[in-house]
Chain A
Amino acid sequence: MTAPPDSPSPTERTMNCEQAVRRLWDYLDGRLPSFTREEVEAHLDLCLRCPPHFTFAQSVKEWLRHAGTQRENEVTDRDGTLRERVRSALRSVSP
């Protein structure tokens, strides 16, 4: 089936670089409507300059996530002391 004569060509439907990178974080956070997401992806498929920006931004998100996982494993003696201090404070105000 051929497209209607007035429908835009694939190239015309594609965003330009600025339009695509303005949606960088929304795209990576999965918060774009499906039509816009597909437009960004169509641009990324054709563009040589923009994909590295998206890839690096995704890395930043992953490093942050990893930093969080590492912090979860941080258990220090000071935390035990703090826990006791907070327990003691709670006991002192409990009826």
Chain B
Amino acid sequence: MPCFAQVVRFARSLEHDGARADDLVQETYLQALRGWHSFREDADPRRWLYAICHHTFLRSARREARYVDAPDDDPELESLATAVSHGGALRTGAVDALERLDMIPAINRALAALPAHYRSVAVLVDVEGQSYEEAAGILGVAIGTVRSRLFRARRLLQDSLFEFARDAGLTHASSASPTPRVPR
């Protein structure tokens, strides 16, 4: 089975329930077998399997009403909000406090907390190293949608990290001074 480990990782990033993630992996390969005739020889098998995996996940999540389509975000506003949020975290000590956190588990928790439409983009581009164009092809969305979801995902992820630092009581204003409101 080609790209098995990568498909397992991608499925687990979409589905956090272990049994559901395993079902998703199995269904991905079954769908791939059924659709093998549509695979172009010059195509990247990993991206083809990711696309099948994502479509299978969406079909199941929509059927069970577990997936809500993302609104269109303003990417530049998300960039601005990222900086505003970081400025607030600098003032409360949350940024310094992150140095005392084990970042990889914290990042994985923050990723897991993202809504699926943001998580899938962040996983593909930032974790798996796919380009915007490749991610757009896998997810079946426009490149602009990848960009806007990615920027929002990163901002939400950054805010989660600051939240972890506050929850761990590591900030000097953990109870008195919440992160300032940021646009959206």
Q: What is the interface of chain A, defined by CB distance below 8 A to chain B?
A: 18, 21-26, 29, 31, 49-50, 52-53, 56-57, 60-61, 63-68, 70-72, 74-75, 78-79, 82-83, 85-87, 89-90, 93-94
Size bracket, chain B contacts? 35 or more
A65 to B120, CA, bound (A): 14
A-B contact pairs, 28 of them (CB 8 A): A21-B82, A21-B83, A22-B80, A23-B79, A25-B75, A25-B78, A26-B75, A31-B132, A52-B86, A60-B154, A60-B157, A60-B161, A61-B154, A63-B103, A64-B111, A64-B122, A65-B127, A65-B129, A66-B103, A67-B104, A67-B107, A68-B127, A68-B128, A74-B9, A75-B5, A82-B25, A82-B26, A90-B30
Write out the residue numbers on chain A whose beta carbons fall within 8 Å of the beta carbon of B83.
Answer: 21, 24, 50, 53, 57
A83 to B151, Cβ gap below 8 A?
Answer: no
B126 to A72, Cβ gap below 8 A?
Answer: no
B21 vs chain A, min Cβ distance (A): 9
Q: Nearest B residue to A89 by beta-carbon distance?
A: B26
* B56 close to A (CB within 8 Å): no
Q: Which of A49, A68, A87 has the most CB of B within 10 A?
A: A68
B177 vs chain A, min Cβ distance (A): 19
* B87 close to A (CB within 8 Å): yes
Q: A25-B154, A67-B107 are in contact. Are A72 and B9 (CB under 8 A)?
A: yes
Q: Nearest A residue to B128 by beta-carbon distance?
A: A68
Write out the residue numbers on chain B whose beta carbons fall within 8 Å of the beta carbon of A29.
Answer: 132
A24 to B75, CA, bound (A): 10
Q: A67-B111, A85-B22 are in contact. Are A61 and B126 (CB under 8 A)?
A: yes
